């Protein structure tokens, strides 16, 4: 039985898989079982933030597993405490952290914090959270409902929990706030929604308005966080101070982790929330190593150089193929090329794979790029050379 047959027989079919079998990786390159190499502009959908086969992370994981992998949150976990301290220091905000295992869990935690705040702060409990129509916040029942894209609200999984409403644009949020609203949850760059970055001025105005009205600003940085934007938090680029921030994806370089940070540090009491695996020795130790690597690349300017070079290549590609692309989107190393239609997008993704470069779909018609943050200039150049070779086949 082949691995493909094994997968089809024994794994639930929730993904439309491409049955390439990757056996090895080195930074932004992946090598398949049949000897082909690929430039990875996806990093496992933004997870492999310090690349594939990173020796520093591998050594840290190996060392940790030789001692303790897990003891449960009933006991002190030294690397968890260190990771929380590091994250708070990098954020520049006076916050505390809860660790889970994914972005969806982080957003669940954020919603629970918001609802408890709504009960503690107001005489008549506020519990509704406003999100945006092209948002994506996870695949649990609650975070699916928090996601503003109607296509995710399948009747098969209903009934969904109440307490969410969606608006098309930031400017529409104000009129939707009522006496049951507790806050607003948004992504500063909508990843699944087409890699669309919001205007900084309107985000800052929203933050000021919510603060004046004792309402919460929840920023979903599951994809934009951990230096993906060029800063530890995209919130810093937008000059805002959220009440709650959620993180996951690139935080531990591939080891499952999620985190919710909040300035309401005393909102939870014993038993209000929990996670068996969250922030255990393994994930926290990996997270510490990832943050050390990325903090150094941020300080020495190498991260910004990669961002600038990637943006330059993206701009030139968009200009070279005006019949295929309408615009470039995003920021940092979370970028997109908006295609003229969805059919073109599908053809580009397949042609890219056939030519040895991995890219992603976002929204209806956007090619999404989420390369490792450690990607080299040579890997960027080679990736775009292969990408343009793929585009040439579509002429």
pLDDT of residue 135: 94
Is 23 exposed, middle or buried, given 0-12, 13-18 or 19+ CB atoms closer than 10 A?
Answer: exposed
The pLDDT assigned to 191 comes to 86
Chain-centroid distance of CA 218 in Å reads 15
Three-class DSSP category at 165: strand
Instruction: Tell me if residue 229 falls in helix, strand or coil.
Output: coil
Strand residue runs (E) in the chain: 22-26, 29-32, 37-40, 96-100, 128-132, 164-167, 181-186, 189-190, 196-197, 216-220, 244-247, 258-262, 325-331, 334-339, 357-358, 360-362, 366-369
Which tokens hold the place of 156? 């098969």
pLDDT of residue 327: 92
Question: C-alpha angle with apex 178: 175 to 182, nearest 5 degrees?
Answer: 110
How many C-beta atoms lie closer than 10 Å to residue 89's C-beta?
12
Tokens 């959220």 identify what position? Answer: 242
CA distance 207 to 216: 9
**Beta-ladder partners of 164:** 129
* pTM for this predicted structure: 0.96
pLDDT of residue 395: 78
Q: Among the CATH numbers 3.40.190.10, 3.40.50.2300, 3.40.640.10, 3.40.50.1370, which is that of 58-299?
A: 3.40.640.10
Angle between helices 342-354 and 377-392 (to 10 degrees): 120
Closest CA to 315 of 293, 330, 299: 330
Looking at domain 3-53+300-371, its CATH class is alpha beta
Q: Which among 378, 358, 376 has a CA at the least distance from the CA of 368? A: 358
Q: Is 9 exposed, middle or buried (0-12, 13-18, 19+ CB in 10 A)?
A: exposed
The rounded distance, in Å, linking the Cα atoms of 386 and 107 is 37
Q: Would you state the structure tokens that stand for residue 88, as one six-digit string?
A: 């708070």
202-230: b (≥16 Cβ within 10 Å) or e: ebeebbeebeeeebbbbbbbbbbbbbbbb
Residue 276's H or E segment, with its range, is: none
The CA distance from 383 to 62, in Å, is 31
Which residues have C-beta within 8 Å of that of residue 63, sequence separation ≥ 6?
285
Q: For residue 122, with 0-12 CB atoms within 10 Å meaning exposed, 13-18 middle and 19 or more buried, which class applies?
A: middle
Task: Please enumerate in sequence order all residues whose Cβ is within 8 A of that of 285, keeping only pairs 6 or more positions apart, or say none.
Answer: 60, 61, 63, 64, 79
* DSSP-derived secondary structure for 337-360: EEESSHHHHHHHHHHHHHTTEE-E
Structure tokens at 157: 């999984």
Cis? peptide before 205, omega within 30° of 0: no
Residue ranges per domain, the chain? 3-53+300-371, 58-299
Question: If the chain, 395 residues long, is cut into consecutive pieces of 10 residues, what is the mean pLDDT of each piece?
Answer: 94 94 98 96 98 98 98 98 98 98 98 98 96 95 95 94 95 96 97 90 98 97 98 98 98 98 96 97 98 98 98 97 95 96 95 98 94 98 98 92
């Amino acid at each position: 039985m082949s691995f493909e047959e094994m997968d089809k027989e024994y794994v639930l079919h929730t993904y439309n898989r491409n049955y390439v079998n990757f056996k090895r990786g080195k930074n932004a390159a992946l090598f398949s079982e049949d000897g082909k190499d690929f430039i990875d502009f996806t990093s496992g959908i933004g997870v492999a933030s310090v690349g594939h086969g990173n020796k520093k992370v591998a050594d840290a994981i190996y060392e940790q597993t030789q001692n303790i992998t897990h003891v449960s949150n009933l006991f002190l976990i030294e690397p968890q405490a260190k990771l929380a301290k590091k994250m708070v220091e990098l954020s520049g905000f006076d916050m505390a952290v809860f660790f889970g295992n994914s972005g969806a869990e982080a957003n669940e935690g954020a919603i629970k914090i918001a609802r408890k705040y709504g009960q503690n702060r107001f005489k008549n409990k506020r519990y509704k959270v406003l999100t945006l129509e092209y948002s994506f916040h996870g695949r649990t029942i609650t975070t699916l409902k928090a996601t503003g894209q109607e296509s995710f609200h399948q009747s098969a999984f209903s009934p969904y929990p109440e307490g969410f409403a969606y608006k098309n644009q930031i400017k529409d949020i104000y009129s939707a706030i009522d006496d049951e609203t507790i806050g607003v949850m948004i992504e500063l760059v909508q990843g699944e929604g087409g890699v669309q970055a919001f205007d900084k001025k309107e985000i800052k105005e929203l933050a000021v308005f919510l603060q004046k009205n004792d309402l919460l600003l929840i920023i979903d940085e599951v994809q934009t966080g951990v230096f993906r934007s060029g800063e530890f938090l995209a919130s810093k680029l937008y000059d805002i101070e959220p009440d709650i921030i959620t993180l996951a994806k690139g935080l531990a370089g591939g080891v499952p982790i999620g985190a919710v940070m909040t300035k309401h540090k005393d909102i939870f009491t014993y038993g209000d929330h929990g996670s068996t695996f969250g922030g255990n020795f393994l994930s926290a130790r990996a997270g510490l190593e990832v943050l050390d690597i990325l903090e150094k690349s941020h300080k020495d300017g190498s991260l910004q150089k990669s961002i600038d070079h990637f943006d330059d290549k993206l701009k030139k590609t968009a200009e070279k193929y005006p019949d295929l692309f309408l615009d470039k989107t995003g920021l940092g190393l979370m970028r997109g090329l908006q295609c003229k239609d969805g059919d073109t997008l599908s053809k580009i993704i397949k042609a890219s794979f056939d030519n040895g470069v991995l890219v992603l779909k976002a929204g209806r018609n956007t090619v999404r790029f989420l390369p490792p943050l450690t990607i080299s200039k040579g890997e960027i150049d080679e990736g775009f050379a292969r990408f343009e070779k793929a585009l040439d086949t579509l002429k």
